[in-house]
Structure 1
């Protein structure tokens, strides 16, 4: 680790490379999950997806965690794609961690459900019935958390899960990460946990590597807390840790 610092209530640390960052985040999440299991016999976890989570998820599945006592949710899913689509977040999580660790229970958000309103309502109820001990999230290039892009982000959203339209910056990010062959192939809508659903979690672990996230990281730490950069709201959470690498932290002044 090269440095750590606190802005408002947000604790941040910068690591030398994505692997070192991923290991540190995985140790942090392991500690929180094991603490919850020790306290109440079980734990509830939210996982994020995307290229930014590769090193973290690889490290997390190697940690000594009793997955048979953990219930897992995830942040979001594209509208209208199946869990066999190469860009499906359900497919991503199965292949990158869930099939390996075999948690007690997995709640998947199905973007291709025949009744999306019912799907979102059921997912909201499941979240409310399983208070989340640790939410593992990232920050998008446009400053979003989950799919709460600036145009649709609401710090006081009455919903826990909602259908949103994705802005151009978000859709271009998905294209740039290689999940879709063309911009036209990137879905225009997605189901997402809302900001209150995320902020209601006991602990938030936010993993953000790569130079393409540097401006979003700078804005998260320095801009006024507002939906212009939704991730700024993380500075108001009492137990959030932000894990950066030297590239994503490159615009932060020493």
Structure 2
């Protein structure tokens, strides 16, 4: 039986090789990290990998609008506690949804456009969202980051995972990397553990590409690595 820890090891192995290849090819690597309960093991294993982090530039995938960094559900807080405080990165670019967030989003978009992203760790939500691109996702916008409205299925997932006490406590909006921008990354790895993701994985793999199942777009990427474990793969024929 493959469990979440083994999944994390395999995803980190693939990610490590991708990062090393980028550093060998061009001297640096640019990566995007996602957050949430599904990424715990992958991030832990990645930290333990043999990577020259001083040559790695990290971008952040998404963040709630109006949420303080001190809130337990803040993705900036998540990444600072679980990743950036544990490795010596070349530079870090967080999504900040607090004061003047539109100006910050524009500045972050400009920074992102300076060079291609070599690797992105992109989870898949219970409603098959990627980043905070809930169904029906916008497949057409070319903006790197966009403000999105969160649907009830997405907000319910955040409550079940323990990030918020009730549905009403979940912010109504978030800043998210767009689907188009995610697809521009050279290599995408999706680490997807747990039984609650099994239906989303089944729909992703067995459906045509559609904004109603946002993760289906990943199947059109030339270098997409999907890493599952026994529970998340349970409904695949």
Separation in 2, partners of 1:116, 1:93: 19
User: Which of 124, 127, 136 is the equivalent residue of 1:142?
Assistant: 127
Separation in 1, partners of 2:42, 2:125: 16
Deviation of the 1:117 alpha carbon: 2.0
**Partner deviation per Cα, 1:115-155 (whole Å, 9 max, x = no partner):** 2221111111111113100000100000100000003x122
**Partner deviation per Cα, 1:186-239 (whole Å, 9 max, x = no partner):** 111000000011000000010000000000000000111101100000000000
Q: Which residue of 2 aligns with 1:43?
A: 29
The alignment yields a C-alpha RMSD, in angstroms, of 0.9
Show structure 2 runs of 5+ residues with no match: none
Equivalent pairs, count: 237
Q: Which residue of 1 aligns with 2:86?
A: 100
Deviation of the 1:50 alpha carbon: 0.2
Q: Which 4+ residue blocks in structure 1 deviate beyond 4 angstroms?
A: none
Q: Which residue of 2 aligns with 1:118?
A: 103
Q: Which residue of 1 aligns with 2:143?
A: 159
Separation in 2, partners of 1:216, 1:175: 18
Deviation of the 1:82 alpha carbon: 1.7
Separation in 1, partners of 2:115, 2:220: 23
Deviation of the 1:185 alpha carbon: 0.7
User: Which of 135, 157, 162 is the equivalent residue of 1:178?
Assistant: 162
- Once the two structures are superposed, the pairs formed by residues 180-199 of structure 1 within 5 Å of their partners are 180-199=164-183
Separation in 2, partners of 1:115, 1:34: 36
User: Which of 225, 230, 247 is the equivalent residue of 2:209?
Assistant: 225
**Partner deviation per Cα, 1:38-95 (whole Å, 9 max, x = no partner):** 1111000000100000110110000000000000001100000121111000000111
Q: Is the 8 A contact 2:15 2:189 kept in 1?
A: yes
What TM-score, normalized by structure 2, do the two folds share?
Answer: 0.98
Q: Is the 8 A contact 2:62 2:132 kept in 1?
A: yes
User: Which of 228, 231, 236 is the equivalent residue of 1:247?
Assistant: 231
Secondary structure of 1:44 counterpart? strand
